[in-house]
Amino acid sequence: MALVTELFRRVPNVSEGIDMDSPKHLGWLMLTGLGIGATIGAGIFAMPGIIAGKAGPAGVLSFLITGLIILIVAICYEKFSRHMPHGVSAYSYVYNSIGELVAWVVAFGLFMEYSFGAAAVAIAWSVYLQTAFDAIKLDTFWKGSTVSETGQLTFGVNIIAIMVVAVITLILMFGGVSKSAKLNFALVILKMVLLAVFLCAGIAHVNPANWQPFMPHGFEGVLQGAAIAVFPYVGFDALYTFARESKSQKDTTRGTFLCVGIVAVLYVAVMAVATGLAPCSIDGKPNDLFVGSEAAAPLAKLLTAAGEVWTAKLIAYGAVLGIFNVLLVLCMGGPRIFRNMSEDGLLPGIFKKSHLGNPTFGILLNGILVAAFAGFMPFGEIADMMVLGTLIAFVFVCAGAWRNKLVNPVLALAGIIGCTVLAANLNPIVLKTYAITCPVGLLIYTFYGFKNSRLRKLAATSQSESVAEVRH
């Protein structure tokens, strides 16, 4: 029983004993920009092809279903940010409400999901770069690994994806948080303009016949699309990795709901136009525009197929910059979770050392992992893999909000059930990957985190002082 008690010890909702050196410099506008920056790009520029391949035109329903579930989860996040303002994302909230072991599982899973997500976006960026600049001619091997329709893997190295991850890592290590946030905001504005251009150009070529059959793979396909649509919506989780740097709680709240609302409207609109530009299947076979490497850059490819060559080029040029800032935000998020874990004693102290607000060692480690995933893995496989850890985190955040009586139990239960249903509709390979990565994280916790936990040391000190008082 003593061991179980230690494994599920909970951090208080106060910042006593934690070095709060994070600058309070992010208002609601910048926070909204960071949230949107992590989603518009990964979601709109790269994911519609993958989701349409699973759900067909009914991908709009996939985005709506996921958006509703994410809104419930976002309410739980917002309540937690009021409850413990020093917390960072799901890790802190679960540590406060459920316990240390579960918090570790959530944090390690989220870090892996940020890494997989950044890798998928890096691959998408490389495809858009090649679409924008015809002069870039690479041998097939240097464009990365691919999977054929029969499931055969062709090995390759995506040299462009590796290089962009290296550049992002250097910017974050030496540029600081404030400059990164301002760069992100400028790129968010650019992406909003690009999406307006896509919608205006694309709507003129929409053929309603392409929306039939609307649900080619049934409701099961819609749910599979909804599961993948989780990643495009998780910008607000990235936003909460910056919660400690928010100027006020009001700014955090505004940023949360503006991010979710704006993203939901844009996703549904873009998905409707994208599936109206071309059929999702041809003669019973998936349209190449919605599967494989083409799906990494669907908007530009769809406009090109519709005859809007120059507009497609403009989208591709802009996406090269726009997707760049998705990488920027995703590579900023994971290391901040590790910083908080280090402050709690669950990881070595090197993870909390910062330069201009950025935890440098975590960013370097993250950069190495992301470059490895992006360089050697196919886009579709990474797109499937990056969601499960996030959904698990969402389940426990909802459960924690219920346990701490922060939200109505019915709302929390709806979030738990919704996220569980989405997780059940992921590709089975995702579960196999998680079954490997999660035990690796638990081994690190067993041999380091458990022994060095700040809460464990505080409890031991308190117990020693109590014994000493009794003896005297």
Percent of the chain with pLDDT over 70: 83
Percent of the chain with pLDDT over 90: 18
Question: What is the average pLDDT across 388-396?
Answer: 88
List b or e across 28-56, with b for residues whose CB sees 16 or more CB atoms inside 10 angstroms.
Answer: bebbbbbbbbbbbbbbbbbbbbbbbbbbb
Q: Is residue 391 part of a domain?
A: yes
Q: Is residue 12 part of a domain?
A: no
Residue 108 clears pLDDT 50, i.e. is over it: yes
Q: Provide the domain count of the chain.
A: 1
Instruction: Name which residue leads in pLDDT, 470 or 279.
Output: 279
Residue 92 clears pLDDT 80, i.e. is over it: yes
431 is in which domain, residue-wise? 26-457
Cα separation values, 230 from 325, 374, 389, Å: 19, 20, 11
**CA-to-CA distance for 9 and 363, rounded, in angstroms?**
29
SS (H, E, C) 268-304: HHHHHHHHHHCCCEECCEECHHHCHHHHHCHHHHHHH
Q: Is residue 468 part of a domain?
A: no
Tell me the β-bridge partners of 282.
285
| pTM of this structure | 0.80
Q: How confident is the model at residue 419 (pLDDT cuts 50, 70, 90)?
A: very high
**244 within 8 A of 88, measured Cβ to Cβ:** yes
Q: How confident is the model at residue 231 (pLDDT cuts 50, 70, 90)?
A: confident
> Which distant-in-sequence residues (6+ apart) come within 8 Å of 412 by Cβ?
76, 398, 399, 401, 402
**445 within 8 A of 101, measured Cβ to Cβ:** yes
Q: Is residue 387 part of a domain?
A: yes
Q: Is residue 320 part of a domain?
A: yes
Cα separation values, 404 from 96, 153, 453, Å: 9, 47, 22
- Indicate which CATH number applies to the domain containing 420: 1.20.1740.10
Q: Is residue 17 part of a domain?
A: no
Q: Is residue 158 part of a domain?
A: yes
Q: Is residue 18 part of a domain?
A: no
Instruction: Name which residue leads in pLDDT, 461 or 215.
Output: 215
**CA-to-CA distance for 240 and 87, rounded, in angstroms?**
8
CA–centroid distance for 252 within its chain: 18
